[in-house]
Chains A and B, each alone.
Chain A
């Protein structure tokens, strides 16, 4: 899976959560901060983290949790741990 595919998967996940929370799709960009710009709460971030781990079959160590803040940073984190898995 390449970087674009990973990003698209994460973007779809964020869109799904944002829809549940009635957050406008316009706010979803690669660099938008999940909490400050999009208005997600921290439990929603846990959902993002848990779903990413499940979808990509990786375990993200807790030291990386501060990176669960934008689609871009999530993509980079997933790429890093997918590469380690190989």
Chain B
């Protein structure tokens, strides 16, 4: 069984409402550590990926990466536990906004279409709700790992918007029979904000350089940006953890006309990996190396 299925079983999801942050965190870490102990080959995947990037694969670093994987699940499920008011308060206290947020807010308000490119790094699950908590409506393109989580997330997002404390957070589900790319293009043509993942391999990914290795990346985001031009804006966004409960959002506006746009996304990720590689929890997946 995959970790996502193990941590997001229907019974577990049903038990979440009204759990405190501490209870959820403790549950996720207890169950998650059980899972990592039961599947030692998962630690080997992380170690192999680290070595491929010439990073020493110490057991401490492998464990730290696993902890970041678990923190990511904690943050993914947190909105299902807290009331909209509690979650709003958590986000405004825990996610520090950089000065570039004002630029993003202005672009989002200009109806020109904004792509926020994110990856499996740090507190990525907090980015869309943190922006919504500050009044920016966001549509996230994502792959829900279980149908139960998809239903729960949609219901919670509706409750958050209904509370009046959040702008809307909508979802485009990838991997269903819906034409996700057209739905994403429609968001941009409406002049709205689209949040999408760039560090995955799809048939439309391109080879890029990351830490001196070639990997497949971009997931076709460059095609979407090209379609949405002229006028569309592109940002990278990384929620870099300061500790287990706080993070700082890093925003950088890129040149949407950049012919090497996909490489530029990875150029923004690379310095973060050089000092905080444990936060790239994608290291527990098979990294899509070109060779």
Contacts and interface: CB of A to CB of B under 8 A. Distances in A.
B189 A42 contact: no
Contact of A45 (B177, B179, B226): B179
B189 A45 contact: no
A69 B181 CA distance: 13
A76 interface: no
Interface residues of A, number: 15
Contact of B189 (A35, A41, A47, A61): A61
B220 A43 contact: yes
- Majority SS of interface residues in chain A? helix
A62 B185 contact: yes
Interface in A32-86: 35-36, 41-43, 45-47, 49-50, 61-62, 65-66, 68
A28 B73 CA distance: 44
- In the complex, which range does the number of interface residues on chain B fall in? 10 to 19
B227 A46 contact: yes
Closest 6 CB pairs of A and B: A62-B186, A42-B179, A42-B181, A62-B189, A46-B181, A43-B181
Given A43-B181, A43-B204, 17 more contacts: A35-B177, A36-B177, A41-B181, A41-B203, A42-B181, A43-B203, A45-B181, A46-B185, A46-B224, A49-B182, A50-B227, A62-B185, A62-B186, A62-B190, A65-B179, A66-B182, A68-B179
